[in-house]
Structure 1
Amino acid sequence: MKEDTLVIHEIYASIQGESSFAGLPCTFIRTTGCNLRCSWCDTTQAFYGGTRMPRSAVLARALDTGTDLVELTGGEPLLQPAVFPLMTELCDRNRTVLVETSGEADVSPVDPRVHKIMDLKPPGSGESHRNRWSNLDHITARDELKFVLTGRTDYEWMRGIIRDRHLTSLTPKLLASTAFGTLLPRDLVAWVLEDKLPVRVQLQLHKYIWSHDTQGV
């Protein structure tokens, strides 16, 4: 059954590089496969391949790393039905569970104990038309909304979405990231300060600690 197995690209322990959990030891379960092709994607290696594993084996490997924090990422993890019971099983074992998702997949079945880190795709991603706006109905104060920005046009789009969709009424955790090597972080900081925008500017820590194209970190 699809609920019993997952196609896994890699499972490893590192530190969380993004979100309000940045810097904390974290186990990453990276699934294979994604139905989007964002212009700035940095995990294209996870589009294909991978190893099909029993859900029980994935759970065991994640628990064996010993970190309290576990993230499901991809690819797009919510494309695989077994991800949903896996997240519940991790929560049941007292792990703090994060799921990083594109914003196109339906987040409504996610266990409410899980912290959803959900993208809203700006125009520069090439996938802005794929945003599933109904997902915002399932965002709570424990969840985080992330914008990856390629330039000023994306920034202004984000600013408008925060205002028009009343995002601060859903969650205080609004994340503004620069597409690595495309938008200078200092420019984003200047815009945020000028507009007094209620966002957390974040960098991808793992790309500064290790090489930007190193995998498994």
Structure 2
Amino acid sequence: MSIGSILERVAGFKTKLVCITGGEPLSDKDTPLLIDELLDKNYTVLVETNGSYDIRTIPQKSIKIMDIKCPDSHMSHLMYWQNIHYLMKSDEVKFVLHSRKDYDWSKEVIEKYRLSDITNVLMGTVFDAIAPRMIVQWILEDNLNVRFQLQLHKYIWEPQTRGV
């Protein structure tokens, strides 16, 4: 789909907030151009990235939401850790937890990089892997400065639904 087609489609939704996500948006070299076009049209642009690509390609005026892949995802080795230095206070990092091991590892990463001091930190659960209440309990016990979230699309649509 061309940038022009995307802009046309977005304009039809009558919103000024656009979230670019799905797969890995930074794997497409045209994503920064699309973001610039949306920003030029006064959209607020959120960009969800898996953290494996250099986020400096994302225009500054957009909001970066970067996953930090936990060990149970078997993807943490793909993290581009330098990205943490390019985050701003308006950005977010997100940990999606599968186990207590992921939680403990996330706590160490938050502390090591002082993430709560430099950006917004979110924690959530892999759908149906661990009870959300359990993670909230751990967060409260440890007094973590994070925001809890759910993978809402898994609750709104069938969990296996793609493209929503």
**What TM-score do the two structures reach when normalised by structure 2?**
0.95
Map 1:65-214 onto structure 2 (within 5 A): 65-171=13-119, 173-214=120-161
- Per-residue CA deviation, residues 37-67 of structure 1 (Å, 9 max, x unaligned), is xxxxxxxxxxxxxxxx222112211222211
Task: For residue 216 of structure 1, report the CA deviation from its aligned partner.
Answer: 4.0
Please list every run of at least 4 consecutive aligned residues from structure 1 whose deviation after the TM superposition is greater than 4 angstroms.
none
RMSD (CA atoms): 1.1
Distance 1:66 1:72 in 2: 16
Given the alignment of the two structures, is residue 61 of structure 1 paired with residue 5 of structure 2, yes or no?
A: no
Map 1:26-45 onto structure 2 (within 5 A): none
Structure 2's unaligned 5+ residue stretches are none
Distance 1:122 1:214 in 2: 23
- Name the structure, 1 or 2, with higher relative contact order (CA <8 Å, separation 6+): 1
Distance 2:34 2:9 in 1: 12
SS at match of 1:140: coil
Structure 1's unaligned 5+ residue stretches are 1-52
Give the number of aligned pairs. 164
Q: 1:138 to 1:151 in 2, by over 3 A?
A: same
Task: For residue 206 of structure 1, report the CA deviation from its aligned partner.
Answer: 2.5
Q: 1:186 to 1:74 in 2, by over 3 A?
A: same
Instruction: Give the partner amino acid of 1:196.
Output: N
Instruction: Give the partner amino acid of 1:150.
Output: H
Instruction: Give the partner amino acid of 1:162.
Output: I
Residues 96, 123 of structure 2: 8 Å contact kept: yes
SS at match of 2:26: helix
From the two aligned structures, give the one with the greater strand fraction. 1
Distance 2:160 2:17 in 1: 23
